[in-house]
Structures are given as C-alpha cells and as structure tokens.
Structure 1
Amino acid sequence: MEPHENTGHPRRWAILGVLVISLLVVVLDNTILNVALRTLADPVHGLGASQGELEWSINSYTLVFAGLLFTFGVLGDRSGRKRFLVIGLVLFGLASLLSAYAQNPGQLIAARALMGVGGAAIMPVTLSIISNVFDPRERGRAIGVWAGAVGLGVAIGPVLGGALLEHYWWGSVFLINVPVVALGVVLVATLVPESRDPNPGRVDLLGVVLSVVGLVALTYGIIDGGEHGFDRPLVWASIVGGLAVLAFFVTHELRSDHPSLDVRLFRVPRFAAPVTLIGLVFFAAMGVMFFNAFYLQLVRGYSPLETGLLFLPFAGAQLIFAPRSAAMVRRFGGRAVAVTGLLLTTVALGAFVLVQADTPIWMVTVLTFIQGAGMANIMPPATESIMSALPREKAGVGSAVSNTVRQVAGALGVAILGSVLSAVYRDDIAPAVAALPAAARDAASESISGAYAAAGRLGPAGPALIGSANDAFVTAMHWAAGISAVVAALGILVALRWLPGPTAATPTTPAPAAAEPELAGTA
C-alpha cells in the first residue's frame, strides 16, 4: 500500500456526524437533570422527591455508567461495535421514556440506572468506531470534533433543560431524548459499518466481573462520602473494598492468558500519561462546575435558564478550539498543545479564588471561556495519544479506560471538593447562626440552600443571614478553586514529562507490537 493512500472508510465524515448525534444525547443527559431538581422536589408540579432521592436520581446513572464503561468497551470490540451502539441507543431511549413518565422517585431512580446502562454502551464504541473508520492521519482531527461534541453537550444541557422547564412539564427533559435516539438508530443502521476484533479469543468473564464490582464499589464510596461525609465505616469499606477488588483485577489480568485488558499497557508512557492527564483535568474541572452552578443560582440569583446561558462561553470555546487542536498538534506537537491547554485551564480555575459575590458577571463568563479553550486543547492530544498506543482492533480498550477514568475522576472531584466546600462553609457561617433557633441554625449550617430556606422564615433577620451565607460560600469556593488549580497544575508536570513531543505528534500507523514490548499481548 502506498504511503499516500487513505485507508479510511469512504463515508467516514458522515459516520462521524452520526456518532456525534449518538454521543450528544448521552452527554446532554449528564447535565440536563441538574436544572430540574427543584421542580422534581415540588409535590405539586413534580414528584415530591426528598433531597436524598434527588441525589440518587443523579448517582444511579453515574454509578452504572462509570461501572460499565470499561466492560462495554471491551465487549463491543469482541461482539461488534455497531451492534452495541444500536443496543445502547434503544436502551437509552426506553429508559428516557420511563423516566419522563415516572410516578414516584423510586421509579425515576430505577429508570435512570437503566439509562446509565444504555449510555455506557454508547459512549466507548463511538470513539472505537472513529479509530476504525478513519485513517490515522485524519484521526486526530476526527477526535477533535468528537471532543468538541462532548464539551458542547456539557454546556448546552442546562440551557436546554431550563428552556424546556419554562414551557413544559418536568418529564420533557427526558422525553426530548426519544426522537433524537430514534433518529440515531436509523442513521447508525444505515451508515455505520460493523467492526470488531478479528481475533477476539475467549471472554475474560472473571476480569469483567471484577472490573464492574471494583469500579462500582469505588465510585459509590466516592459519591456517598461526598454527600454524607467520609467519617462513616460504610464509605471507607466501599472505597477500600473497591480498591482491593481492582487490585485483584490487576493481578488476575497479569496472570491471565486471555485478559480483557493487558495492564502492561500502563508501562507505556504514551498510554498511561494521557490517561492520568484526563483524570487530573476532570477532577479539577467537574469540581469547579459543581460549585459554580450554586454560585450563579444562589449567590448571584440567576434562574436555571440564565445560569445555563452563562455557560455558553464554555461551549463556544469548545466549538472554536477543539476542531483546530489536531492541526496545532501536527504543527507544535501533542506535548506543547496539551501544556498550553493545561496552563489556560489552571489560570481559569485559579482565578475563581478572586471571584466575589459582586464580581462583574462578564468576568466570570471570561473565565469559563478560558477554561473551555484550555480543555479543548487538552482532550484531543491526550485522547489521540491513548488511541495511537493501541492497534485499531483494540480501540475499545483505550476508549473505555479513558472514559472510565474521566467519570471516576469527575465523581471524585465533586465528592472531595464538595466536602471541602461544605466544611469551610460550616466553619465560616457558624458565628452568624449561633443565636438562631435550632431548626434554622441546623438548616443554615448544612448548606447555602438551607440558609436561603431558613432566611425565608426569619422575617427581618433573613437578609442578614443571606449575606452571611453568601460570604461563607464564597470563602469556601475560594478554597475549592485553589485545590482545583493545584490539581490541574499537576497535569502540566505529567504532560511535560511523558507526553510525546513534536517528533511523535503525528503517527501514521499504530506502533507495532514489536516496537513496544508492553503492546505484544494486544496486537
């Protein structure tokens, strides 16, 4: 074959468009629910869900989604990626329909868990199919479009949710998925070719079970600890137990002659380094997005729709810079592009330390734009490095690992930074609530939302409590932002030390197994 010949599929760009549609519906649903929580808690216009039930309506999706990402990526490689994509879309659409017409919080939680199964089947195979249908020389550009779709979905989810809630009932935030999924199924069946590992071997059933159990247990401990505190035995039993199961999984994979994941891959810097980088970035970014939503809606008083609109600069930056990042990588190398993106992200996250309750809102939107621009230039080179470390037929492994790390790191970021936020807030507001009645003091000490609710029952003393709560929350936000910036800065050190430079920025073929001893078992 001549070096100039393009080995990609003739309809690869149309296929990419179909994959973006499939991916958007999953990413949108990850964020669209946040703006509906207040309505779902309303016993008249919603389901009358308690605070704990609202938390589980989010976490049931996250736990299942994160726990099955790795497994479904591997099974998609073996059983057929197109097949898994169609199955995932059908499950996601069915679960969306069930969520829209749930009669009580328990039904909604169960439907959201089923939605997580569908989402876990969809997301990893989209990236696997990209690696299969695109020539390696075009793969970076295609991954840039894919990454831009992820950023766009994260940003426009709250906008779409807020707009729907202003005109329709709460179930519309789930029902909107159904026609999009139906379109996606038709397009996938028509355009996307089937692909799989040509030499699948035996399925590592024990490895699959261990990976699911370990990831679910670890993720549960992280999320539950963030919600209710890390001072309970159940949380540490879940975290330690999950880590122990994952350690056994690694040991089993090293000894197995048909592993679901050859863990020797993590000895290859161009695979391990970008996976670590993605984890650090999403730990920092998801934690900041978590407290920024509270800051905009409570401290600044914006509605859910207005809050969503204020995140549009993040989406705009993703749309502008993500598709261009592949060309930047070709010109300057993956390391330089990723480090620049990390510097921008670190500056944006760290600048939240300076944001106050009366900071001009345009300054906050500038920070979200800078963060979006930075992350748009991190994900494509990192993802390209991961995917280029593996042969095409093993693309699902890289996709599943990177997405699982992203989900778990994001959950860890929200849990740990949320715990920091709560602890600093409680300490800072304690003097202001000491003289309040017990019920109001407990509510105001628990969260800024509780303080606003308590202030509504205090009459003339209410405005003073709101002012104190805002000041305490802003102080807590500064601590969380500082930690986020430090974590993002660690990513700079990882990128400088281990990401490939300009000479390795544009691989034309995946590295052969003989060139990397650690890849011998995957080729």
Structure 2
Amino acid sequence: MTTPADLAPRVPEAVHRRRWAVLGVLMLSLMIVVLDNSILNVAVRTISTPAPTGLGATQGELEWAINSYTLVFAGLLFSAGLLGDRLGRRKVLVAGMLVFGIASALAAQSGSPAELIAFRAVMGLGAAFVMPATLAILMNVFERDEQPKAIGIWAGGVGLAIAIGPITGGVLLDHFWWGSVFLVNVPIVVVAIALLLFLVPDSRDPAPGRIDPFGVLLTVVGLVLLVYGIIEGGERADFTDPGVLATIGAGVAVLGLFVWYEIRSDHPAIDMRYFRDKVFSAAITAIALVFFALMGVTFFSVFYTQSVRGYSPLQTGLLMLPLALAQLFFAARARHVVDRFGYRAVTTGGLLLIAATLAAFLLFDHDTPVWVMEVVFFLMGAGMAHVMTPTSVVIMQTLPREKAGSASALSNTFRQVGGALGIAVLGSVLSTAYRSGIEDELASLPEGSRHAAGSSIEATLAVAGRMGADGGSSLAGAARDAFLDAMHVTAVWGAGIAALGAVVTLLFLPGRTPTRR
C-alpha cells in the first residue's frame, strides 16, 4: 500500500532544480569511458599495420587491447560501486575520471602492443570508478516517477557512445595518427571534472558494504584465465590443445571458487542474494548476452568494411551512423513502448530484432549494397535501445534506492564481461574459421611464416602485398573469400546468443513494473 511518506519528495529542492544539468554532466562522464571501447574498434586495422603507421599488432594482441580494458573494468566495477557508496560517489567519480585521462594520454604514446595493452588496463581501472557512480548519482537526484525517463536517457547515452565511437575514430584516423583516438579523451576529461565539481552533489549509502579484496582478485584472475584460454584457442585454431584446455579449465575453476567464496562471505564483492530474484537475474543475463553478441560482431565488422570492402576508417564510422541515430531516437522513447506493452514483450522483441540483424550478416558479400548494410545497422540500434532501457529500469528498480551503486555496478559488470567474452569467443570462432578457409592457399609458404600469415585477414593481405602481381592478387582474393565465410559462421553464433537472451527474458521478465525490495 502506498503511504504519504512514499509520495513525499526525497530529493532536496536545490538538487531537484538542477537535476537535468546533473544528468548532462553524468552522461558526458559516462560517454567518454564507453566511447573509448567503440572508438578503438575502428582503429584496430590501423594498429595492426606495421610501424610507423601502426604497431604491427596480431589479432590476439588486438583482442587483448580491447579486453585488458574490459576485464579490469568488469573485475573492479562492484568494488568501485561500494567505494562510491562509502566514500562519496562524486569523489570516486572525479578520481576515476582523473586516472582515465592520465592513462589515455599514456596509451596514445604506446610504442608496442604490450604497452598499449598495459595502459588500456589502467584506463579500465579509472573507468571502473566512473560508470557505477553515474547511475548511482542519477538515482539520487531524480524522484522515482522520473527515474525511468532519466534511465532511458542514460541508457541512450551508453548506446550513442558505442555508436558514435567509430565515427569519431574514423575522423581522427583520417587526419592524425592512431594514438589520437586516445588523446582526444584528455580535454573532455578536463571539462567533465570541472563540471562535476561545480554541479553534481555528493551522496553515500547510509549502510555501505565492506570491500572484498580476495573476491576481486578471484574475479579478475578467473576472467583473465578464461579469456586468455579462449583467445589462445582461436590463435592456435585448436581448442583441444592441452594448454588451451588447462587455461580455460583453470579460469572456470577460479570463477567457481569465487561464487563459492562469495556465498559464504559476510562482505561479498558481489552479493549473490540478488540473484535469487528471477527478474533481476533475467535482466542481468539479457544485458550480458546482448553485449556478448554485439561486441563480438562489432569487432569483426570493422575488418569486413575495411579489409574486404576497402572503406577508410572514416567511411567505416559513417556506415555506423544509422546505428547511432536509432539509439538516439529510440532509447528515450522505449519507456513509452514499455508502458504500453510491458517489460517482457519489449525486451524480448528487442533481442529477437538484434538476433535477426546479426543473422542478416549472412547477406553481406563483396558487393552488398550500402543501403542494405545501413538498414541492418539501423535495426540493430533500434533493437539495442529496446533492450538497454527496460532492463536498466528493471535492475535499478528491483533493488532498494540505497543500493543503487551496487545495482549499477552489477549491471555494468555483466555488460563488460559479456562484451569481453563476446570478443574472445566470437573472435576465436572467426580466427578458427578463417584459418581453416585460408590454409590451403598458404601451403606454398615456408612453414615458419605459414601460421602467422593465417592468423588474420590483415596478416594474409600483408603477405599478398609482398608477392608478385599475379600471386598477390590471387592470395588477396582468397583471403577476402575466406574472411566472408568466417564472418558468416561467426554471425550465426552471435544471432544464436541473442536469441538465447530472448528466451530468458520471455520466461522471466515481468510484464509490468517490477517490485522494489
């Protein structure tokens, strides 16, 4: 039963008056750390080229350049949320932005793939303190009746950042060197910190949880071992290799130990009691699966547009513009669709639409009309908007307001883990399928260089470029054909994962407003 106390405003009037300005600053802070992942996607082909144009990174090193950021981000998100609850969310947010900005400047000056991977991990450290704080502050400056609208705009910012990242990266790469995709973060961070200090109020959880260093360590170690094993299996094109199986098995065992330890801990890094709620678990799973599919497909689509179709980084980024526009248009409006049809129908429909657009990659060939690609990307953005907005609302409104930091951290942890595993698993499927398709064409190469030449389409094209006109042209054509076949196989995997998410939401998400604990 609703009481007068439930209806009374709980946000101070001075804060309430500037809530939309606060949301704008929070979105600026959020978008820069989310955009950094997608802006790198359009630069991976450039970074894979030899110096001085790039760093000569292999496909495995490119996957790690993305995943070192993602895994540190995911592994520390929950503890970062707890620190914000305890120390003050604005303080933690400002500190995270500062670390992120410094690490971005260092990443721009990397002299090797190993340096880039290391500095990306430090960027992930800073980002881990930014994302949960933004949503937790949002929940404390908006009253409950406005929270769905604010979360919709917040979710739209996430999707928009993912979409405009490739466009921004393409513009920078057309005019500057590859490090500019990181250096651009620095002035934005400076502006964001100034606005945070001026506009955003601080807030804390009156009963914050305790930090769990051992749980955090188990999380990071388990995820790194699991992802390393998956990427290594793809690099070797052999998942039955004893070393690969041992690494994957060790990762699964450590993560199993983590769950066992968390259940018994009186101050867990992740409170497993939240997952007893089927609605909460279904929403978290949907987010993880959609990012698994989306990030994996985004990784290989850049090689399709640039290596197969011959588009520049800027043209590649512009091809993603319909995805950005769909995110911008539908994210804030998705709540109205939810009001009419309910969380279950909208989220399930969004996931099925994403599955259909991923399956549509089967239509992509050497000369697929651009308008077909644009329609597919637009529908993908529309599907994502209708998943992110309702699931974010469900997650945040299922738990108490004072646990906003924890709920946000859990949501984003699974988002990042899903994305990291998507890049690792689908990247490995792509590598294995590509190597299988091109190995006969590489049989004439010396044994020592055959493996490296088959590791990615870029490696094969580099070999083709050093051959004579006839042999090089033939090998380049075979490489593009093999990549298309591998991309089609990988797209089917991504579509299957998105469809699995649709089954989960259909079975467990509520039709209408979830009940807050």
TM-score by length of 1: 0.90
Tell whether the 8 Å contact from 1:59 to 1:223 is kept in structure 2 after alignment.
no
Q: 1:321-470 to 2 correspondence within 5 Å?
A: 321-435=330-444, 442=451, 444-456=453-465, 457-470=467-480
1:164 equivalent in alignment to 2:169: no
**1:3 offset after TM fit, Å?**
5.9
- Determine helix, strand or coil for the equivalent of 2:333: helix
The aligned counterpart of 1:30 is: 37
1:200 equivalent in alignment to 2:208: yes
Pairing partner for 1:262 from 256, 271, 284: 271
The aligned counterpart of 1:21 is: 28
Cα distance in 2, alignment partners of residues 392 and 129 from structure 1: 11
- Determine helix, strand or coil for the equivalent of 2:454: helix
CA 1:292–1:140: 2 relative to 1, 3 Å: same
The aligned counterpart of 1:112 is: 120
Q: Give the count of matched residue pairs.
A: 507
1:277 equivalent in alignment to 2:286: yes
- Determine helix, strand or coil for the equivalent of 2:435: helix
CA 1:236–1:63: 2 relative to 1, 3 Å: farther
- Amino acid aligned to 2:98: V
- Percent identical among aligned pairs is 56
Tell whether the 8 Å contact from 1:287 to 1:410 is kept in structure 2 after alignment.
yes
- Determine helix, strand or coil for the equivalent of 1:196: coil
The aligned counterpart of 2:257 is: 248
Cα distance in 2, alignment partners of residues 304 and 127 from structure 1: 32
**Once structures 1 and 2 are overlaid, which stretch shifts more, 357-366 or 159-168?**
159-168
CA 1:421–1:206: 2 relative to 1, 3 Å: closer
CA 1:337–1:464: 2 relative to 1, 3 Å: same
1:180 equivalent in alignment to 2:185: no
- Determine helix, strand or coil for the equivalent of 2:310: coil
Pairing partner for 1:493 from 497, 503, 509: 503
Tell whether the 8 Å contact from 1:223 to 1:412 is kept in structure 2 after alignment.
no
| Cα distance per residue 1:104-132 (max 9 Å; x no partner) | 55544332221111011111211222222
Cα distance in 2, alignment partners of residues 472 and 46 from structure 1: 26
| Cα distance per residue 1:314-364 (max 9 Å; x no partner) | 111100101111121122211111112112111111111222222112101
Cα distance in 2, alignment partners of residues 165 and 348 from structure 1: 28
CA 1:392–1:219: 2 relative to 1, 3 Å: farther
CA 1:176–1:378: 2 relative to 1, 3 Å: same
Cα distance in 2, alignment partners of residues 227 and 376 from structure 1: 34
Cα distance in 2, alignment partners of residues 279 and 249 from structure 1: 19
CA 1:293–1:36: 2 relative to 1, 3 Å: closer
Cα distance in 1, alignment partners of residues 444 and 116 from structure 2: 40
Tell whether the 8 Å contact from 1:63 to 1:220 is kept in structure 2 after alignment.
no
Tell whether the 8 Å contact from 2:132 to 2:412 is kept in structure 1 after alignment.
yes
CA 1:455–1:101: 2 relative to 1, 3 Å: closer
1:475 equivalent in alignment to 2:485: yes
CA RMSD of aligned residues (A): 2.5
**Once structures 1 and 2 are overlaid, which stretch shifts more, 40-49 or 408-417?**
40-49
Cα distance in 1, alignment partners of residues 109 and 330 from structure 2: 39
Cα distance in 1, alignment partners of residues 413 and 234 from structure 2: 19
**1:210 offset after TM fit, Å?**
3.3
- Determine helix, strand or coil for the equivalent of 2:169: helix
- Determine helix, strand or coil for the equivalent of 2:205: coil
The aligned counterpart of 1:139 is: 147
Tell whether the 8 Å contact from 2:41 to 2:299 is kept in structure 1 after alignment.
no
- Amino acid aligned to 2:500: L
The aligned counterpart of 2:19 is: 12
The aligned counterpart of 1:189 is: 197
Cα distance in 1, alignment partners of residues 434 and 289 from structure 2: 25
Cα distance in 2, alignment partners of residues 260 and 438 from structure 1: 48
| Cα distance per residue 1:52-79 (max 9 Å; x no partner) | 6555443432332222122212222222
1:96 equivalent in alignment to 2:97: no
1:153 equivalent in alignment to 2:161: yes
Cα distance in 2, alignment partners of residues 19 and 134 from structure 1: 13
Tell whether the 8 Å contact from 1:219 to 1:408 is kept in structure 2 after alignment.
no
Cα distance in 2, alignment partners of residues 198 and 481 from structure 1: 46
The aligned counterpart of 1:516 is: none
- Determine helix, strand or coil for the equivalent of 1:137: coil
The aligned counterpart of 1:313 is: 322
**1:437 offset after TM fit, Å?**
6.1
The aligned counterpart of 1:61 is: 69
Cα distance in 1, alignment partners of residues 265 and 450 from structure 2: 57
TM-score by length of 2: 0.91
Structure 1 alignment gaps of length 5 or more = 513-523
| Cα distance per residue 1:141-187 (max 9 Å; x no partner) | 11111111111111221221221222233332222111111111111
**1:2 offset after TM fit, Å?**
6.2
The aligned counterpart of 1:520 is: none
**Once structures 1 and 2 are overlaid, which stretch shifts more, 368-377 or 200-209?**
200-209
Cα distance in 1, alignment partners of residues 244 and 363 from structure 2: 34
**1:294 offset after TM fit, Å?**
0.9
**1:464 offset after TM fit, Å?**
2.2
The aligned counterpart of 2:91 is: 83
**1:277 offset after TM fit, Å?**
0.9
Cα distance in 2, alignment partners of residues 103 and 454 from structure 1: 23
**1:374 offset after TM fit, Å?**
0.3
- Amino acid aligned to 1:480: T
Tell whether the 8 Å contact from 2:49 to 2:57 is kept in structure 1 after alignment.
no
- Determine helix, strand or coil for the equivalent of 2:146: helix
